[in-house]
Amino acid sequence: MLQAAQPAASARRRLGRRESVTLLAALMSLNAIGIDAMVPALPQIVHSLGVVSANEQQLIIITYMLGFGAGQIVWGPLADRFGRRPLLVAGLLLFALFSLACAVAPSFPLMIAGRVAMGASASSTRVLVTAIIRDLFEGEAMAKVMSLVFMIFMVVPVLAPSLGQAILLVAEWRMIFLVLMGYAMLLLGWALLRLPETLHPEDQRSLDLRSVLEAARLVIGDRLAMGYTLASTALFGALSAYIASIQQIVTDVFDATALLPLVFAACAAPMAAAAFINSRIVGRFGLRRVGHAGMIGFLVVAALHWAVARAGYESLAVFVLLQGAALVAFALCSANFSTLAMTNMGAFAGTASSIQGVAATIGGALVGLAIGQAFDGTVLPFLAGMTITAIIALLIVLLTERGRLFAAIDAAEFPSAA
């Protein structure tokens, strides 16, 4: 049993650990489904809406991520003032509404506007799930719960493209958005019935601008918080580029359109397994050891893959093998980096989660867009971009840790921002 950090009494009565982890993972998965279920439908969407350039289909993914990043700055302060539960209800209702808007969009600009709004609505789940976990757990216990949530959440990329492909077999692409709307409403019902408020009354913060800016100052001034947020931004750029480009890579480079859901699943499944392994080993080896090892592994695999492709040995099987290995390393560092970034943020977890999420998501999406738009019919621009982002992440972590890797957290060196 994980040790909770004084959870609310109602949470203890109404939700067990298994159900709470499952519900939080399902809420997090809304974002993954909103992105990954679109991947098989991208060519149909742009063709139906009269888009000429193939690379513009990446905007359906990237603009969602930009909205997802920007929306987080709003949800966090509101959640610290009014509580987690009412904001979650609002976010799910808005997501369902904008999914419907995308389903009936008559033009590409309106589709893009709807995707931005969908992402901004879905960002409520990212902020609130992180804040709820921080409300209930701390330290290594928080890392374990975060890993369990991430593990369940990572099953979604394995299945979501297949869901999108299955829908396309019986209906047009607009039905995917209607399914997303239905899923949001299902989660809304579950949360209303079972999820209690987890924000402690004494942790409620004022919504006045001075209070929000003060919380932001403390977040930005915390060495762990900003260092690991910036490192996560670089790594998320590589992931964004992968999601935005994978349809074109499988179709244009390997001429294997029919295998897209299988390729996506084959790369994502090891990532889900790594998240589970992380939940088992992080308590034994520590956040830094596992996270830093994952980051270095990501760099090594990315550089190796780039070298293999430049040497002319790239094939679909090689791509799946090495990209799967890179995503394993990504899983081992991403959850732990997020936890390290939240270490000193207990007094204003919602605002901290918002600021960190905005930086990592918007920055990562823009990096991913730059890498994706360089697609030239080969995997080389993508692999070069992934390697460069890994190098940047390593340099940031080295600066954050003052040249030390794998060390235990030194409370004196990183004083609490509270």
At residue 220 the predicted structure's pLDDT band, cuts being 50, 70 and 90, is confident
Residue 129 reports pLDDT greater than 70: yes
Tell me which fold the domain 13-194+203-400 belongs to: Growth Hormone; Chain: A; (1.20.1250)
User: What does the pLDDT average to over 183-201?
Assistant: 87
Residue 319 reports pLDDT greater than 50: yes
Residue 382 reports pLDDT greater than 90: yes
Point out the least confidently predicted range of 186-195, 250-259, 276-285, 321-330. Answer: 276-285
User: What does the pLDDT average to over 383-394?
Assistant: 96
Residue 159 reports pLDDT greater than 50: yes
pLDDT for 138 equals 65
Tokens 């067990």 sit at which residue?
Answer: 16
Residue 30 reports pLDDT greater than 80: yes
At residue 418 the predicted structure's pLDDT band, cuts being 50, 70 and 90, is very low
**In contact, 368 and 360? CB cutoff 8 Å:** no
Identify the CA nearest to 50 among candidates 119, 117, 114, 110: 110
pLDDT for 40 equals 92
Residue 411 reports pLDDT greater than 50: no
pLDDT for 7 equals 43
The tens digit of pLDDT for each residue in 95-106 reads 999 999 999 999
pLDDT for 13 equals 45
145 vs 258 pLDDT, higher one: 258
**In contact, 262 and 276? CB cutoff 8 Å:** no
Query: How many secondary structure helices (H) and strands (E) does the chain include?
Result: 15, 0
pLDDT for 415 equals 42
3-state secondary structure of 403: coil
Q: How far apart are CA 225 and CA 241, in angstroms?
A: 24
Q: What percent of the chain has pLDDT over 90?
A: 49
Highest mean pLDDT among 211-225, 251-265, 344-358, 376-390: 376-390
pLDDT for 3 equals 42
Q: b/e per residue, 147-157, with b = 16+ CB within 10 A?
A: bbbbbbbbbbb
The tens digit of pLDDT for each residue in 331-371 reads 888 878 888 887 777 666 666 767 777 888 899 999 999 99
Residue 237 reports pLDDT greater than 50: yes
3-state secondary structure of 311: coil
Residue 88 reports pLDDT greater than 70: yes
Q: How far apart are CA 395 and CA 31, in angstroms?
A: 29
User: What does the pLDDT average to over 49-62?
Assistant: 88
Q: Where are the domains of the chain?
A: 13-194+203-400
At residue 410 the predicted structure's pLDDT band, cuts being 50, 70 and 90, is very low
Tokens 């149909």 sit at which residue?
Answer: 44
Residue 180 reports pLDDT greater than 60: yes
User: Any residues with CB less than 8 A from the CB of 388 and at least 6 apart, and which?
Assistant: none
pLDDT for 34 equals 93
Q: Is the dihedral of CA 137, 139, 144, 146 positive or negative?
A: positive
Q: What percent of the chain has pLDDT over 70?
A: 86
Determine the residue type at 76.
G
pLDDT for 414 equals 40
pLDDT for 11 equals 41
CA triple 230-390-300, angle to 5 deg? 150
Q: How far apart are CA 349 and CA 131, in angstroms?
A: 5
At residue 208 the predicted structure's pLDDT band, cuts being 50, 70 and 90, is low
At residue 12 the predicted structure's pLDDT band, cuts being 50, 70 and 90, is very low
Point out the least confidently predicted range of 193-197, 335-339, 413-417. Answer: 413-417
180 vs 414 pLDDT, higher one: 180
User: What does the pLDDT average to over 207-236?
Assistant: 82
Residue 2 reports pLDDT greater than 70: no
